[in-house]
Amino acid sequence: MYLRFPLLLATLFCLSATASQAFDVDARANIGVFDKYLWRGIDLSDSTAVTQGAVELSAGGFTLGAWGNAQLEDDGLYDGGQVNEVDLTVDYTFNVTELATVSVGNITYILDDLEDTNEAYAGVTVNTLLSPTLTVYYDWDEAEENGLFYTASVSHTFDPCSYAAVNVGALVSYNDTSDYSVYYVDATTGEEASYSDWHNYELSASVDLKVTDGLTITPSVLYSSPISDEAKLAIDSEWLAGLSLTYSLSF
């Protein structure tokens, strides 16, 4: 796991040097602190604080990215300072028409103490009010059943002034026996059980505070809650708060 991350960074650097000869290249790096690691409504850090960071390079519609999560304190499973997940993403985003944007890609999850897995995805955004987006994720690697997970979301950004932007969003998800990552423990048998039903909804808000042309500070908050009876056995209602720092440049 620890060898793959520097190798990816070297690959991203080499690709950016090549791509810059033919396309404008956008680079982005961010680092943030959050009160927990919340993913699809699942508290993956036992409500202990984490730091998360990412690097991305984009050119000609393609984006290569690496994202990591590290514990800031011992959560009973991982020690403070331990990097327990690195995700590698390849994405291609393009406009079908002026009204529709499509994104396709793959996420490789590199995990400590769990089997690594891969998840392909495809999403479409309607370029109109609230930017409604539908995304389908498919775990084609470790999931033993359907391995499908769906999200539908809307979002909007307000610009009250030149140095601040307010972002609000809402999301609802459906789990279609994506048993590797989303499941509950059967009270009778004590075994993990997958399900096909509505999973969770999320409400989010953040403020992008522009410090310089490339540097942005973003406080954020998110609320997640389960929907179906099965989901209520798998996850709890959760609040997530964080503060992140992002630097972007084009060359």
The residue ranges of every structural domain in the chain are 4-250
Give the DSSP letter of residue 186: -
Give me the amino acid identity at 143: A
- Is the CB of residue 133 less than 8 Å from the CB of residue 123? yes
Residue 217 has a pLDDT of 98
Q: Tell me the residue ranges of DSSP E strands in 60-195.
A: 62-71, 83-97, 100-111, 117-126, 133-139, 148-161, 164-176, 184-185, 192-193
Specify the length of the chain in residues.
251
- Is the CB of residue 203 less than 8 Å from the CB of residue 223? yes
Given a cut of 70, is residue 10 above it in pLDDT?
no
Phi/psi at 237 (nearest 5 deg)? Answer: -70, 135
pLDDT in tens, 171-182: 999 999 988 989
Give the model's confidence band at 18: pLDDT under 50 very low, under 70 low, under 90 confident, else very high: low
pLDDT in tens, 77-100: 888 888 999 999 999 999 999 999
For the entire predicted model, the pTM comes to 0.89
**Which of these CATH numbers, 3.40.190.10, 2.40.230.20, 3.90.1310.10, 2.60.120.260, describes 4-250?**
2.40.230.20
- Is the CB of residue 135 less than 8 Å from the CB of residue 174? no
Given a cut of 90, is residue 9 above it in pLDDT?
no
Give the model's confidence band at 20: pLDDT under 50 very low, under 70 low, under 90 confident, else very high: very low
What's the chain's average pLDDT?
91
Question: Residue 16 to residues 11, 46, 87, 239: CA-CA distances in angstroms?
Answer: 8, 38, 19, 37
Scanning the chain, the segments in alpha helix (DSSP H) are 4-19, 229-234
d(CA 168, CA 154): 9
Write the CB contacts of 138 (distance below 8 Å, at least 6 apart in sequence). Answer: 119, 120, 121, 147, 148, 149
Give me the percent of the chain exceeding a pLDDT of 90: 78
Given a cut of 90, is residue 110 above it in pLDDT?
yes
Please choose, from the candidates 156, 158, 138, the residue with its C-alpha nearest in 3D space to the C-alpha of residue 148: 138
Residue 13 has a pLDDT of 54
For the four alpha carbons of 174, 179, 180 and 184, in that order, the dihedral sign comes to: positive
Q: Is 47 left (phi over 0), alpha (psi -120 to 50) or beta?
A: left
Residue 99 has a pLDDT of 95
pLDDT mean over 117-145 = 97
Given a cut of 70, is residue 209 above it in pLDDT?
yes
Residue 83 has a pLDDT of 92
